Chain A
């Protein structure tokens, strides 16, 4: 069947308002690639089932798409036909305020969630880059998290349930709306972070948290990563309960600080939630640590979940249009070494990256404007050579242009053979196209 005829059939199936041709869909790139046939915008879970079933029966490749805030965080798919956009799946299906449970269709945005929960003194404790524009389905599919993961956990910790349309177009329910669930395999964990390679997430259920009375961030300034890391290590054994502990290099701090001034090499930002009394105590403890570890300065700022300072920190790690985002993960104690590898590799091409490092999670992100093409390849190669043989370290390389699989997922995924077998079982026809996920899945 010709692409035109297929498109016509999809239009008949879903209605004119729910389809867009290849020209209109060109902007809906995933992994740098646009769909060959077009895009569909189903307005209900039943329509998602119908669309995927149609694609499966007609050998069309489907890539799910949410708010488009993380679409570059994968490798280029091996060609695909249909972008399935979840933005019209926009109903909040069950908000149990008294149970701290929130269920919403996949296309509901972070902003809408905040708008609904805030007046009730509750929040969804996730803060990935672009949270307000991101969709809940997209956040779960990409397991996107932000600085507050240190205190509240990642999507895997907060998702109670998901509904997914599988490669056959069937609706699969995983988990539920209760706090604990040990029935059957925990497919929520499998779908969370699966980047749409196993199905289209159509509904998500989250555990909520009470919104804190107050939130504040304190910043210490250091001359070196080792000094800053020493302070972060001291925090581990101190009576502190941080929501986020991030290390920023000078370039990141310059962009982040309202006045653009940043005279020190490294900034240690520790954010706390709690009562005013708790914040005051933690400030005192934190300042004590700074004093003992040779900090050169101190600042404090309001850091409310819905505040500008918080969002702008989260959004610092967006992949630059003309450059690269390097994500290097390891043990928290390895941060100074990992940062030195990143800086050295970037220096080769004259790139001065913005570096943010999660002192609790051990994930270092380097935003590298202008780092592209061969320079990007060289930088990745150099970092990989430095971390070769270090157990557990992984490097991911993201850009808005299409990148081959091994250029993005540079370190092999542990258990990749098992992952392939899971993909073979759940999507044998590759309705969700290969190539985007680690190991070429």
Chain B
């Protein structure tokens, strides 16, 4: 694993640490400071478990004012800090910086305002993504970004990572739905961008902040756009004999001018794992299935479905199961949603990659990923947002075997390079965090990275806000890389 738990930073029971705990407790109350070893261990990693570092403390504020006070305290003492939502991030972005504290926002979970007329909702950063849709579904609305972790992940985390999900193919990612925000800057000042207008004068700060992985400040409140629920949905499961037929079918659907709401692909490894776990009736000998969802107005949707059927047939689809009602649709989606969880049946550990390639390059890149898996003698399962070209190759391994871990890391690097060579990028929705730092120079020049450094300096002159993430060369990443090498 990358940094081992004891290579990290735990200041121990020093006098200054005791003073820090006391001052944090004075802000949020002693019950909202986690300082024991056992409590802090829980926060060593986010969803990217290959890197771990134990925080000096975890503090749980309940308001923007408390976050400001904590940040001011940290800034005055030169203590680095990072915000954390539900900890579902997959690139280590919410791991504590060396000697740093974690500011957990899960107590900030109030929905503050629902404006149905103007289709806006304002909520604290710790509100769980799915709660937003649940709060407005009865009014025919929903919050469109729907990452796989939507029943756990928070809005603040979604902003930090510019979270996507299966339906972003048609509806866009978090950035497209964020209208306003409150963010505590790294000096404790409050940045307040109203979500009342779509035309705030000046630079597009919400656009810049979305996806900044908590390195520019701590978002404590967001105003998001609500989207009407579709009048009708057409969902189908298409079964293919080969993965190439499936990926060519994806390209043909897009090239035909059809933008489905979702277009998800699962390969044979995933089909077998899902079927073994849940018995959905998926064909075990199929090499790929596509979940194709069209939505929108009722008028014309069946005709569009017929066009999609024709395209599938032209790519040798073996079987096309069209959901006849909501229950069948839910069952089809359940296959997809249970996919990653079911992989535990195939191996004790798995590591999810996240790269984006041009859609037309899907057949060639997936073939290459198959060869990479063979070269490294590892099993890779593919379940991903095919319509966006957003790949999620999942490398299956045993994390107790250090030699396997080394191969996994090298295999991941080879996959990233293959995607970049195909005209793609190193991450589509999981972010850089600590996982992808070393790959940034593959797609950005020194001048590009220097510009990003300057942008960061405009927000965080002291370099205390989640250092060592997103940009290579920042404080803290060097020791991480060393730890990673030492660990393997």
CB-defined A-B contacts under 8 Å, sample of 29? A97-B255, A99-B389, A143-B204, A173-B444, A176-B423, A176-B424, A177-B423, A180-B164, A180-B168, A182-B162, A182-B211, A183-B440, A187-B455, A189-B210, A190-B207, A192-B204, A233-B117, A274-B300, A282-B297, A361-B198, A363-B199, A391-B196, A411-B201, A413-B202, A419-B205, A422-B203, A425-B458, A426-B451, A437-B202
Q: How far is the CA of A433 from the CA of B161 in the complex (A)?
A: 34
Residues of chain B contacted by A166 (CB below 8 angstroms): 447, 451
**Is A7 interfacial (CB 8 A cutoff)?**
no
B191 within 8 A of A: yes
CB 8 Å contact bits of B423-454 with A (1 = contact, 0 = none):
11111111110001000100111011101101
The reply to whether B388 and A182 form a contact with Cβ atoms under 8 Å apart is: no
Contacts of A183 in B (CB 8 A): 425-427, 432, 436, 440, 443-444
Checking A178, A190, A396, A437 against B425 with a beta-carbon cut-off of 8 angstroms, the contacting residue is A178
Chain B residues with CB under 8 Å of chain A are: 115, 117-120, 139-140, 161-162, 164, 168-169, 172-173, 175-176, 180, 185, 191-205, 207-208, 210-212, 228, 231, 251, 254-255, 257-259, 296-300, 303, 354, 356-360, 385, 388-390, 423-432, 436, 440, 443-445, 447-449, 451-452, 454-459, 470-471
Cβ B161 vs Cβ A182 within 8 A: yes
Contact B459–A236 (Cβ < 8 Å): no
Contact A189 B175 (CB under 8 A): yes
Name the distance in Å between B120's Cβ and chain A's nearest Cβ: 8
A184 to B205, CA, bound (A): 15
8 Å CB interface, A142-174 against B: 143, 153-154, 156-157, 166, 170-174
**What residues of A have a CB within 8 angstroms of the CB of B118 in the complex?**
331-333, 362
Residues of A within 8 A of B385 (CB): 180
Residue A329 is within 8 A (CB to CB) of chain B in the complex: yes
Pairwise interchain contact A418-B205, C-beta atoms closer than 8 A: yes
Nearest to B217 among chain A residues (CB) is: A418
**Which residues does chain A contribute within 8 Å of B300, judged by CB atoms?**
274-275, 277-278
- Contacts A210-B258, A236-B228 aside, 9 further interface pairs with beta carbons under 8 A come to A178-B389, A179-B388, A181-B427, A184-B452, A187-B452, A187-B455, A239-B231, A332-B117, A415-B193
In the bound assembly, the distance between CA atoms of A165 and B430 in angstroms comes to 29
Cβ A181 vs Cβ B356 within 8 A? yes
Least CB distance, B420 to chain A, in whole angstroms: 10
In the assembled complex, the Cα of A340 lies from the Cα of B207 at a distance in Å of 32
**B201 adjacent to A179 (CB under 8 Å):** no
Cross-chain contact A277 with B425 (CB below 8 angstroms): no
A414-B356 in contact given A190-B455, A425-B457 (Cβ < 8 Å)? no
**Docked-complex contact B299 and A278, CB < 8 angstroms:** yes
Nearest chain A residue, comparing its CB with the CB of B423: A177
A174 and B448 form a contact (CB under 8 A):
yes
Q: How far is the CA of A265 from the CA of B485 in the complex (A)?
A: 72
The answer to whether A180 and B356 touch across the interface, beta carbons within 8 angstroms, is yes
- Would you give the shortest CB distance from B85 to chain A, in whole angstroms? 16
Note all chain B residues with C-beta closer than 8 A to A396.
Answer: 201
Interface of B is mostly: loop
| Complex interface: chain A residues within 8 A of B428 (CB) | 178-182
- A100 proximal to B (CB < 8 A): yes
Interface residues of A in 177-231 (CB under 8 A from B): 177-190, 192-194, 209-211
A182–B429 contact, CB under 8 A? yes
A189 to B193, CA, bound (A): 15
Contacts of A2 in B (CB 8 A): none
Contact yes or no, B257 A241, CB < 8 A? no
Residue of A282, A333, A361, A394 touching B201 (CB-CB under 8 A): A394
Q: Are B356 and A179 in contact (CB under 8 A)?
A: yes
A393: chain B residues at CB < 8 Å are 196-197
Do A415 and B202 touch (CB < 8 A)?
Answer: yes
- Tell me the smallest distance from the CB of B248 to a CB of chain A, in Å: 11
> Given A96-B358, A329-B197, does the pair A239, B424 have CB atoms closer than 8 Å?
no
Most buried by A among B299, B385, B440, B445: B299
Cα–Cα distance between A240 and B252 once the two chains are bound (Å): 28
Chain A contacts with B in 396-422, Cβ cutoff 8 A: 396, 409, 411, 413-416, 418-419, 421-422
A 11-43 binary contact with B (CB < 8 Å = 1; else 0): 000000000000000000000000000000000
CA distance A371 to B90 in the complex (A): 56
Interface: A101 (CB within 8 A) = yes
B427 nearest CB neighbor, chain A only: A182
Are B448 and A173 in contact, with the CB atoms below 8 A? yes
Least Cβ–Cβ distance between B413 and chain A, in angstroms: 15
Residue of A nearest to B140 (CB): A237
The answer to whether A66 has its CB under 8 Å from any CB of chain B is no
- A192, B207: Cβ atoms under 8 Å? yes
> Is A347 at the interface (CB under 8 A from chain B)?
no
Q: Nearest-CB distance from B425 to chain A (Å)?
A: 5
A353 at the interface (CB under 8 A from B): no
CB-based nearest B residue for A332: B118
Residue of A whose beta carbon sits closest to that of B195: A392
Contact partners of B168 in chain A: CB under 8 A: 180
Q: Are B197 and A362 in contact (CB under 8 A)?
A: yes
For B297, what are the chain A residues with a Cβ–Cβ distance below 8 Å?
A: 239-241, 274, 278, 281-282
A129 within 8 A of B: no
Given contacts A189-B208, A192-B204, contact A153 B436 (CB under 8 A): no
Distance of A199 from chain B, by nearest CB (Å): 9
Q: How far is the CA of A2 from the CA of B178 in the complex (A)?
A: 49
Give the residues in chain B near A240, CB-CB below 8 Å: 297
* Interface presence of A308 (CB below 8 A): no
Q: Which residues of A contact B169 (CB under 8 A)?
A: 179
Q: CB distance A277 to B119 under 8 Å?
A: no
Given the complex of chains A and B, what is the CA–CA distance between A239 and B303 in angstroms?
A: 18
Residue from the set B201, B357, B388, B443 with the largest chain A CB neighbour count within 10 Å: B201
- B198 close to A99 (CB less than 8 A): no
In the complex, the 4 A-B pairs of residues with the closest C-beta atoms, listed nearest first: A189-B207, A392-B196, A210-B257, A413-B202
- Report the separation of the CA atoms of residues A424 and B195 in the bound assembly, to the nearest whole angstrom: 26
C-alpha spacing A240/B115, complex, angstroms: 19
Q: Which of A311-341 contact B (CB under 8 A)?
A: 327, 329-333
Residues of B within 8 A of A239 (CB): 231, 297-298
Residue of B nearest to A166 (CB): B451
Most buried by A among B257, B390, B444: B257
With a cutoff of 8 Å between Cβ atoms, the chain A residues found around residue B451 in the complex are: 166, 172, 187, 426
* B191 and A418 form a contact (CB under 8 A): yes
**Which residues in B have their C-beta under 8 angstroms from that of A189?**
175, 204, 207-208, 210
Q: Are A394 and B199 in contact (CB under 8 A)?
A: yes
Q: A275 CA to B119 CA in the complex, in Å?
A: 27
In the complex, which of the residues B193, B195, B255, B358 contacts A178, with contact meaning CB atoms closer than 8 Å? B358
Contact A421 B458 (CB under 8 A): yes
Q: How far is the CA of A184 from the CA of B91 in the complex (A)?
A: 13
Q: Cβ of A438 < 8 Å from any Cβ of B?
A: yes
Q: For A182, what are the chain B residues with a Cβ–Cβ distance below 8 Å? A: 161-162, 211, 354, 427-432
- Least distance between A193 CB and chain B CB atoms (Å): 5
Asked if A186 contacts B303 (CB within 8 A), the reply is no
